[in-house]
Structure 1
Amino acid sequence: MTIYQSGQINTNSLNVPDLYVQVLKPQNIALNDVSTGRIGLVGTATWGPVGTPVIVGSMGDCLSAFGPKQALASDIGTAVNIAIMQGASDFRCVRVSDGTDAAATGTLDGVSLTAMHTGSAGNALSATLVADPIITTHYTLSISHATLGSRSYRGTTWAVLATAVAADSMALVRIGLPSTVPALAAGSVTLAGGADGAAPTTAAFLGTDGATRTGLYALRGQGCALGILAGVSDSTSWTTQAAFGLGEGVYMIACGPAGDGIASAVAAKAAAGLDSYAVKLMFGDWLWWNDDTNGTMLVPPQAFVAGLLGGLSPERSSLNKELYGAIGSQKAGLVSGGTSQTYSTAELSALFAAGIDVICNPAPGGSYWAVRGGISTSSDGVSDDDSYTRLTNYLAETLNAGMGAFVGEVISATLFGDIRAVLLGTLSNMAASGILASASWAVVCDATNNPQAETALGYVRADVQVRYQGINRFFVVNLQGGASVTLAAATAG
């Protein structure tokens, strides 16, 4: 007897009588869900690789990867901080620069130490070389930073230390040895000369989409459901963001410039030709935020919205959900200042009719900061809600991630049945988790929509229809009062 794995034996070519055990793969009855809360964030930082997506799951991760926060609208750390407060916990962050970024450097006895990454955070890196108090030929090189952490290396020569540093994937510096390497000697140095390059252009934020991807395009294939170009309010970027969002299944959260007016915002959107369910455009009424590092800051609304949506299931809208950490807005002023100017119905109507959303206080549910419209920039009333974009992307990405396994299979009734089973199982699981309503889908994959003329050419088609759950946007309560009102027995309480 011989045991074979699935596909290792051709049962039609057997000529020796024997027992053949073939281990088959478990039946795939549903697809694995894709992430609906991952945020792709492009911004500036005081440390970290430029143009490379970095996984961040907490503020500790962010500070270690990108250094201390800065009081900038484009700062990655600030945006991550705000988004985490709203419920987000999964980020892919890409640092951009204006090209003037530089790595901090220092020397110990002619041996050069260069910060692993560019940025001003490197200027606080200290390197200390001390001899072992017992074995004096052994030295310890310690590299430390209050935010980035510390790394230590032991060796008897600079060459040994340089090798140890080069082998450390978490190293904070690189060591450059001179042609004549000195003997080890105790000493210390603080690196200097690091620069952030923290004023990148819109083009730098968008990046390039070639063999080496940078900026926004570095987020391709990262599985992001939401996207932010932190602090970018340039209307010329909006249609590019829309194209990226459509192609990657990413809901891009854009914004207008700080202190914008409603009329100018409406005009800018029209001039840009922006009309897409892939982009949510926030009005340029920026928010005041009390940062734990930089104090009171005026920040763009993007991270609040992305963080909120990142913590919500894909069938839900941002409309009327409470936001945390905002202490005022440009229109309302600082809460501590006692001002509370609000939006009129006419102002909100003008924004929403143009496909522009806004964060304000109060909300329909009470006196708290919230997204007031829950809409995208689409002019189609069927596809202009957050939930349409997010659920459509979720369904499409889930199918795209798993249905490719059927390519290359023999076209038969069995294949049709297997495809239907996986699709129905996947949709049923979504209903069980509340993403879809019960029995709100239809799947056809059989001979009726796969005629022989098409299957003979290798085509197989599965037609999937899914009815989404609506969002309560216009809640009407009919109240009838008076002494003459006659109560219906079935509704009297």
Structure 2
Amino acid sequence: MLIQQGVQPGAPGVYVDIVPAPPEINGVPTNLLGIVGAASWGPTNTPNLIGSNQELVDTFGPVINQSHDLATACVIAMAQGANAIYGVRVTDGTDTKASVELMDTAATPAEGALLTALYSGTVGNTITAQISAGIQPNTFTLTITRPGVLTEVFANIGGTGSAFWQNLVNAVNNGQSLSRGPSQLVTASLPTTLSTYAPNVTTTYTLSGGTNGISTVTDTTLVGSDGPPRTGMYALRGTGVQVGMLADVTTESTFTTQISFGLQEGIYMIGVGAPGQTVATAISAKNTAGIGSHAFKLLMGDWIYWWDPTNNVQRLVSPQAFSAGLLVSLNPSQSSLNKQVYGVIATQTSANGYRYSYADLQQLTQNGIDLITNPIPAGNAFGVRIGVNTSFSAVNAFDNYTRMTNFLAATFNKATGIFDGQVQTPELWHEVETAFDDFLSNLESQNLIEDYLVTVNQTNNPQSQQALGFMNINVSVTYFGIAAMIVVSLNGGTSVVISQSTLGQAA
């Protein structure tokens, strides 16, 4: 007979006490990137995970040459190594869904059913539909096509008169038993007056009337509201995103709101200044915004010339996605400093032949402003030049502080839930300490952290705290520092004497 651990049996016999395996802590993913922007397809204000260019097109449509474009930011980020992006589409509320009437064969043709695009946006205007004779006798097949994605075929729809049209609507909306599911492109509905005639099998129908709803999208639209329902940035709550950006948002008054959200969710928010900033105007704008937090990385408004392969045009785009995509491709102990980014033709300053001086870089560093430029210390390539956030604290100012702190905090927040509600005993403390120790020891062995200390015992859990339901787990972690300013001491000259002792020290 099986019994729970610690339960006392009440009769003679053999009992098997199932002892649960010791708890283990698994680190949360650090590669999740969140991007908020406008698009030509897809659900609005809902996070959708994409991992490839094909999934991007399927979910949000192609790259569009417009401000705040979600697809543009995703393509750029994926070129830097991002492979798990939660995209959130926003609109200005004027977006519409494309539709088309499927007609019957009456003497005066009438509507048999209405097909409406599943989502709003101009992608819906590319969807076509055609009804043809089915393989089985007295049936019809509906084929729905969207360029670049899998064609949908609803085969052998039976019925005569109005029954056929009802069966067509049911097939589109509910699927056809085990043969195929509901349409992922359109929904179908019946007109008020039902058709009793057979369908037209010669016409190819094209949906029309779909609009993106972007003409009055503003930076505030992308920030959104905490709801309910949640919109814009706030739709990223609970997704586990580690790095986030609002595409092309440059309004300084939104930065404090982004910081607040980043602190609440453990997200490293990537902001940017307006295009064409100089060092002086970038510093002035940052000071006007009044920001200083490790949760926010501010990129100077030195925007980037990028070749748009979808629209075959060179465009000026925000540096956000280059930086954000790079960050999520690195482990959290690393900094974006001196890391190359890809797809940059030029920046606004490099196109004008300007090269940042050390005085420029020093001012930006001291003010917590980063940038993408060429060269970087590694050589003649475009990359992130400083690798800092906007924190006022010098020891918290590098990317790795934000990334590692958010990673550990999110991991511990998720992992400790298994201990909630258990009786606080020395055995529980030991289990907790062992789980934390095993996890941190693994990070240490991978050179992700330098040292750590976990304390959970009577010393930090006195009876007075236990009585109130508290269990304190004190965790101290030493991060590795970033080699940001490398100093070489050179002692050279004809008068310099290299002694044997000096050689030994050098060896």
TM-score over 0.5 for the pair: yes
| Deviation (angstroms), 1:316 | 0.2
Quick check: 1:208 aligned with 2:225?
Answer: yes
Aligned-residue offset at 1:68: 1.5
> Does the CA-based 8 Å contact 1:233-1:256 persist in structure 2?
yes
Choose from 120, 138, 141 the match for 1:118. Answer: 120
Shift of 1:236: 1.2
Deviation at 1:490, TM superposition (A): 1.8
SS of the residue 2:316 aligns to: strand
Structure 1 stretches of at least 4 aligned residues deviating more than 3 Å after TM superposition:
none
- 3-state SS of paired residue (2:264): helix
Deviations 1:135-181 (CA, angstroms, capped at 9, x unpaired):
45221111111134321112122222211211235520111111313
Retained in 1: the 8 A contact 2:173–2:183? no
Tell me how far 1:479 sits from its aligned partner: 2.2
Moved more, 367-376 or 175-184: 175-184
State the 1:100 CA deviation: 1.3
CA distance in 2, matches of 1:228, 1:188: 41
3-state SS of the aligned residue for 1:332?
helix
CA deviation after TM superposition for structure 1 residue 263, in Å:
2.4
Match of 1:22 in 2: 17
Aligned: 1:184 with 2:202: no
Tell me the distance in 1 between the aligned counterparts of 2:453 and 2:234.
Answer: 35
Q: What is the correspondence of 1:337-348 to structure 2 with a 5 Å cutoff? A: 340-348=353-361
Q: 1:336 maps to which residue? A: none
Equivalent residues of 2:42, 2:89 under 8 A apart:
yes
Contact 1:144 1:150 in 2 (8 A): yes
In structure 1, C-alpha distance between the alignment counterparts of 2:41 and 2:149, rounded to whole Å:
9
| Deviations 1:409-466, CA, capped at 9 Å, x for gaps | 11221111111111111111111222112xx111111111212222222222111111
Offset of 1:114 from its aligned partner? 0.8
In structure 2, how many angstroms separate the alpha carbons of the residues matched to 1:169 and 1:483? 84
Does residue 227 (structure 1) correspond to residue 228 (structure 2)? The answer is no
Which amino acid is the alignment partner of residue 341 of structure 1? Y
Find the counterpart in structure 1 of residue 152 from structure 2.
Answer: 151
Residue number in structure 2 paired with 1:490: 504
Counterpart pick for 1:309 among 327, 345, 349: 327
Deviations 1:221-254 (A, max 9, x none): 0000000101111111100100000000000001
8 Å CA contact 1:67, 1:148 repeated in 2: no
Counterparts of 1:53 and 1:169, CA distance in 2: 21
Q: Give the aligned partner of residue 7 of structure 2.
A: 11
Task: Give per-residue Cα distances to partners, 1:243-293, cap 9 Å, x unaligned.
Answer: 000000000001111112332222222122211100001111100111211
For 1:55, the equivalent position in structure 2 comes to 49
Q: Do residues 427 (structure 1) and 434 (structure 2) align?
A: no
Structure 1 residue 371 corresponds to structure 2 residue 365? no
Partner of 1:277: 294
2:169 is aligned with what amino acid? A
Cα-to-partner distance string for 1:175-223 (whole Å, 9 max, x where unaligned): 1111313422312211111111124122221112123211101000000
Contact 2:305 2:316 in 1 (8 A): yes
Aligned equivalents of 1:433, 1:93: Cα separation in 2: 31
Match of 1:456 in 2: 467
* Cα drift, residue 492 of structure 1: 6.0
Q: Which residue of 1 aligns with 2:32?
A: 38
1:331-380 C-alpha deviation (Å, 9 max, x unpaired): 111xxxxx532112222222222211111000111100111110001111
Bigger shift: residues 175-184 or 99-108: 175-184
Q: How does 1:135-146 map to 2 (within 5 A)?
A: 135-146=136-147
Bigger Cα displacement from structure 2, 114-123 vs 141-150: 141-150
Residue 402 of structure 1: SS of its match in structure 2?
helix
Q: Partners in 2 of 1:126 and 1:446 — Cα distance?
A: 67
User: 1: distance between equivalents of 2:427 and 2:291?
Assistant: 45
SS at match of 2:55: helix
The count of residues paired between Structure 1 and Structure 2 equals 479
- After TM superposition, the structure 1 stretch with the greater mean CA deviation from structure 2, 223-232 or 145-154, is 145-154
Structure 1 distance, partners of 2:25, 2:386, is: 33
Name the residue aligned to 2:253. 236
Going from structure 1 to structure 2, the CA distance change for 1:170 and 1:94 (only over 3 Å counts) comes to farther
**Is the contact made by 2:22 and 2:431 (CA closer than 8 Å) also made in structure 1?**
no
The runs of 5 or more residues in structure 2 that have no matched partner are 104-110, 159-163, 175-180
What SS class does the counterpart of residue 503 from structure 2 fall into?
coil
Q: Which amino acid aligns with 2:245?
A: I
- Contact 1:68–1:147 (CA under 8 A) maintained in structure 2: no
Amino acid at match of 1:11: V
Q: Could you tell me how far apart the structure 1 residues matched to 2:183 and 2:22 are?
A: 42
Cα distance in structure 2, aligned partners of 1:169 and 1:281 = 44
Cα shift readout 1:378-428 (whole Å, capped 9, x = no counterpart): 111011110000000001000001112111111221111111111111111
- How far apart, in 2, do the equivalents of 1:148 and 1:286 lie? 33
Deviations 1:59-102 (A, max 9, x none): 11101001111012311111111111111101111000011111
Deviations 1:115-152 (A, max 9, x none): 110001111111111113x5452211111111343211
- Correspondence list, 1:287-302, <5 A: 287-294=304-311, 295-302=313-320
- Among residues 381, 397, 400, which one is paired with 2:394 in the alignment? 381
Offset at 1:491?
5.3
Quote the Cα distance in structure 2 between the aligned partners of 1:460 and 1:425: 19
Indicate the RMSD between aligned Cα atoms, in angstroms.
1.6
SS in 2 for 1:108: strand
Check conservation: 1:73, 1:298, Cα contact below 8 A.
no
Match of residue 177 from structure 2: none
Which letter maps to 1:467?
T
Confirm or deny: 8 A CA contact 1:86 1:308 kept in the other structure.
yes
Letter of the aligned partner of 1:469 in structure 2? F
- Give the stretch that moved more between structures: 302-311 or 257-266: 257-266
Name the SS of the counterpart of 1:107 in structure 2: strand
Which 5+ residue runs of structure 1 have no aligned equivalent?
Answer: 334-338
Structure 1 CA distance, aligned partners of 2:227 and 2:395? 35
Name 2:107's counterpart in structure 1: none
Instruction: For 1:18 and 1:164, locate their aligned partners in 2 and report how far apart those are by CA, in whole Å.
Output: 60
**Partner AA of 1:180 in structure 2:** L
